[in-house]
Amino acid sequence: MSVLSGVAERLHRPSASGPNLVPELAQESGPSTTLRVRSVSKTFRGAEGTVEALDDVSFEVAAGDFVCFVGPSGCGKSTLLNLIAGLDRPGQGQVMIGPRAITGPGADRVVMFQESALFPWLNVRDNVEFGLAGLSRQERHARSAQYLDMVGLGAFSRAWIHELSGGMKQRVALARALVLDPRVLLMDEPFAALDAQTRDRLLLEVQRIWMETQKTIIFVTHNVREAAVLANRVLVFSARPGRVKAEVTVDAPRPRALKSPDLLAVANHIADELESEVVRAEQEELAIAAAAAAHHAGLRLRREG
């Protein structure tokens, strides 16, 4: 059986979005649907003009699924993650978690960024326990110990953040996210700043943790190999405005090894889907830079003339 299948058409079926989505959702989505992004568009308006970041994006994520987003820089991946996290609101469309529209941040969704954003004045354990204020001290310690063990940092609970390597900091950030027991874990290029060896080790750890916890994970990456190793489904986004260009299903058995030849073929397939979009994004950036240069040259001529 092929490990690849492109089903972009399915993702772009017409939808009748409206305020009364809940009954419709109950019919259309199975009980295992955790997240539903429906006809979402987002435009930013600022001093520099208007940026259309996302255009009519629709997809669903089942409970326990592992979905990766790949796409050219600036195509709206982080914007979409922010909308799912409830840190921003869509211009059009809706993001639903279970039967509810997302209107703000919630304990059911936790985001992990490229920078770990840990508190340097707290030790490792207190960082992990930060979101557990309602629990007794004993319960907090039991839970932080459980998740620090899970990320391989059981022996470092009393260490200070400045004593940790970049990879260890991201492990703490992962434990701090998992300890909250969210339904959905949103990871925005969490290992992009790490060296290749640390990154590879952490990828396999994330795979193991996902297999152990069966959390729903959405993971943004520029690395097609990373996407092939981690994901059950890879959504490939177009150049800005971001649209779902293709979906690649990865059926390879787990645990997956980084060097598996099957995965190389999947990674190449994702790269093929991505290539034209990266070129398009680059051409657009160049056109914007050329227009800005022409504008500034015109201003200078007018000043001098």
Ligand X SMILES: Nc1ncnc2c1ncn2[C@@H]1O[C@H](COP(=O)(O)OP(=O)(O)OP(=O)(O)O)[C@@H](O)[C@H]1O
Write the CB contacts of 200 (distance below 8 Å, at least 6 apart in sequence).
258
Question: 65, 76, 125, 281: which one contacts ligand X (CB under 6 A)?
Answer: 76
Does 73 engage in binding with ligand X (CB under 6 A)?
A: yes
3-state DSSP assignment of residue 30: coil
The number of residues that bind ligand X (CB under 6 A) is: 13
Does 23 engage in binding with ligand X (CB under 6 A)?
A: no
For ligand X, the closer of residues 64 and 74 by Cβ is 74
Ramachandran assignment for 206, one of left (phi > 0), alpha (psi -120 to 50 degrees), beta (any other): alpha
Does 78 engage in binding with ligand X (CB under 6 A)?
A: yes
Question: 36, 77, 215, 256: which one contacts ligand X (CB under 6 A)?
Answer: 77
Minimum gap (Å) between residue 83 Cβ and Mg ion: 13
Minimum gap (Å) between residue 164 Cβ and ligand X: 25
Pairing of strands 66-70, 109-112: unpaired
The number of residues that bind Mg ion (CB under 5 A) is: 1
Does 221 engage in binding with Mg ion (CB under 5 A)?
A: no
Distance set, CA 223 to CA 11, 73, 110, 226, 246 (Å): 23, 12, 22, 5, 16
Work out the end-to-end distance of the chain between its first and last CA atoms, rounded to an integer number of angstroms.
70
Minimum gap (Å) between residue 186 Cβ and Mg ion: 12
> Cα(303)–Cα(305) distance, rounded to whole angstroms?
6
Question: 33, 34, 41, 78: which one contacts Mg ion (CB under 5 A)?
Answer: 78
- If you count them, how many residues does the chain have? 305
Does 41 engage in binding with Mg ion (CB under 5 A)?
A: no
Residues lying near Mg ion in the complex (CB under 5 A) are found at: 78
